[in-house]
Structures are given as C-alpha cells and as structure tokens.
Amino acid sequence: MQMEKLVDVCRGGRVESSHYGHIAVVASDGKLLFSLGDPYRKTYARSSVKPLQAIPVVETGAADRYELSDADLSLCCASHSGEAQHTERVLAILGRAGIGEDALQCGTHIPHSQDAYQKLIAAGKKLTPLYSNCSGKHTGMLITAKHMGESLEDYYKPDHPVQQRILQVIAEMADYPIEQIEMGTDGCGVPVHALPLERLAYAFARMAHPDDLGEKRANTANRITAAMMKHPEMVGGTGRFCTDFMKAARGRLFGKAGAESVYLIGDRQTGVGIAIKVEDGNGRAAYPTALETLRQLGLLDKSQLDELAHHYRPIVKNARQENVGELVPSFTLHKC
C-alpha cells in the first residue's frame, strides 16, 4: 500500500520523526480531484461518520417528536469533552423521551475535559457512560429506537434495526455496495464501518451538496450540517479542534474527527468532500494535515489559518512546558 509523508515532527532544528498517510478529495459528482498516498485505502471511519449516523434520527421523525434543537442535533454528531454543556443536554434529551441514563450502552472512560473530571471527583460522583464522548450519538440511537417502538436494551448490536438503518444510510451516502462494507466494533460498542477513503470523502461531499439525494435526504443533510456549524461547541468542546475549526470556517466547512487519526470534511460552498487517514493512527498529525489540505485547496485563508495556528503547527512541549519543537505539514496534494 502506497503512503506518503504528511507531517514532520521537528525538534532542535531537525526532523525527529514523521507521520505518513492518505488523503482523498472528492467532488459531489463523485470525481476524485486530488489525492495523496492511497485514496482507496479501506478505512474504518470510526467517529468521523457520526453526522451520517445521525441521519436516521431525523428521517425517522425521532428528532421532531422529541423536539431536538439544533444544539441537540449537533450533540448527536459529537465526540464531546464531557463538559456540563454536553452531559446536561444528553440528560435533557433522554428525559424528554422518557429514557433513563442507565440505558446508555457506550461504556465509560475519563472525559476529555480534565476540568469536568476534577469536578466529578470533587463532588464524589461516579464516572458513568454519560461522560463518554459518544453519549450524544448513543442518545440519538436510543430516541430513534424509542420512537420506532424498538427494544432499547440491545440498540447497539449490529442486527438491531437502529444499526441496520445506519448501515443502509452509509451505503447510500457513499454509493458503495452494502455487502462490501466491512464491519468491526467501535470503541463505544456499536458497529464501525470500513470503506475506501474516497467513498468516505464522497459521502461528506454529498452531505455538503445534497441536491441529488432527493428532497427528504437533502433537507436532512442540510439540517445536520447546519446544526454542527451553528453549534460547534457541541461537536467537540472547549479547545477542541472540531469546535475551533468550524468556528473559524464561519458556516462554510464542517468536519468530524474519528479515532485512529481519521478526519472528514465537507465544504458547503464547492461541494468538495475530504477524507484523511494517518497511517500510524496518531491523532496529533490529523489536524495539521486537514488544515494544510484546506490551505492548498484555497478553502481557508491566512487569517483563518492564523486563528487556528495552534492546531496547524502544534508546539511540542517538554515536561517543563517549554517549547522544544513543532509539527509541520510537509506534503503537496496530487491533482487527479
């Protein structure tokens, strides 16, 4: 499998290490415009496809029945930090649907927000699935099952109607045979889907320009992406890349990170979709790669890149919190 260098890690004036990977840039008509490495690398999308997984929440009618606001819908697309703004909203949505917090089957982990974690410890509270970065996505799944009269206790399993609807949506949006989508289990217990990188980029291109999807699907895609861009603080949280990026993009671009260094972007103005995979799975290289890709495509200007400088060329610090190096994007996209 061909891969190319994406980001150099520099220290003391020399390259200490490098991250390699793959990029696919696809138009809303399906044409591969630019690439790097292997644009057809079959890749587990991980959390980067949460905006696609939210489509059934809207299309089944669950979002309207349980009165999801734009911020609520954005949270359904989130890998959030576990801040109060996230956990309180999850509880509110579940409450309106008459579902208990104990129905969440996303497992537990320390929240990304250390402030939120310290407050939890100080209050003597137990770490629960509520603080999982995926609790918003799981809430969307739960309210969909409740609305459709389906079982709640096994909503996360591959053969449950909730997961089957999501599988169908991903196949449709990526225009990829459903039987060729490879399945695994994500970090939060639900199915995860592997597709060629350029098909993931195409799915986000269609989310950005959904005109050929029919009125219902187009309205749903527009509603989801508009919610993410209007409330980017729900998608990530304080200081998180997804949040800062969409704020800087000012209603034009939406993006979503996935574990093992996957990143997907859609441009609502041109209809371009971008998919990135860093081969070694190190997330630190994904954001400089994403921003450099957008710079080369002319989709972010200098002022926006300056606003995102701490993500574009992240500083390497030592244990004394001294600046000792930086990450530097080091690639040129190939026109296809």
Cα-based distances in Å from 1 to 21, 36, 38, 41: 10, 12, 7, 8
Percentages (nearest 5) of helix, strand, coil residues in the chain = 45, 20, 35
**3-class secondary structure, 315:** strand
Sheet holding 191-196, edge to edge: 42-44, 191-196, 182-185
Q: What is the pTM of this model?
A: 0.97
Q: Which residues contact 35 (CB under 8 A, 6 or more apart)?
A: 22, 23, 24, 25, 198, 333, 334, 336
Closest alpha carbon to 285 in 332, 224, 330: 330
CB distance 139 to 90 below 8 Å: yes
Amino acid at site 83: E
Cα-based distances in Å from 108 to 91, 95, 105, 298: 16, 20, 9, 40
Per-position pLDDT tens, the chain of length 336: 799 999 999 999 899 999 999 999 999 999 999 999 999 999 999 999 999 999 999 999 999 999 999 999 999 999 999 999 999 999 999 999 999 999 999 999 999 999 999 999 999 989 999 999 999 999 999 999 999 999 999 999 999 999 999 999 999 999 999 999 999 999 999 999 999 999 999 999 999 999 999 999 999 999 999 999 999 999 999 999 999 999 999 999 999 999 999 999 999 999 999 999 999 999 999 999 999 999 999 999 999 999 999 999 999 999 999 999 999 999 999 999
Per the DSSP assignment, residues forming a β-bridge with 17 are 9
Burial of 252 (0-12, 13-18, 19+ CB in 10 A): middle
Cα-based distances in Å from 102 to 24, 94, 129, 135, 138: 40, 10, 8, 11, 12
What is the per-residue pLDDT for 208? 98
What is the per-residue pLDDT for 152? 98
What is the per-residue pLDDT for 1? 75
Residue 224: how many other CB atoms lie within 10 Å: 27
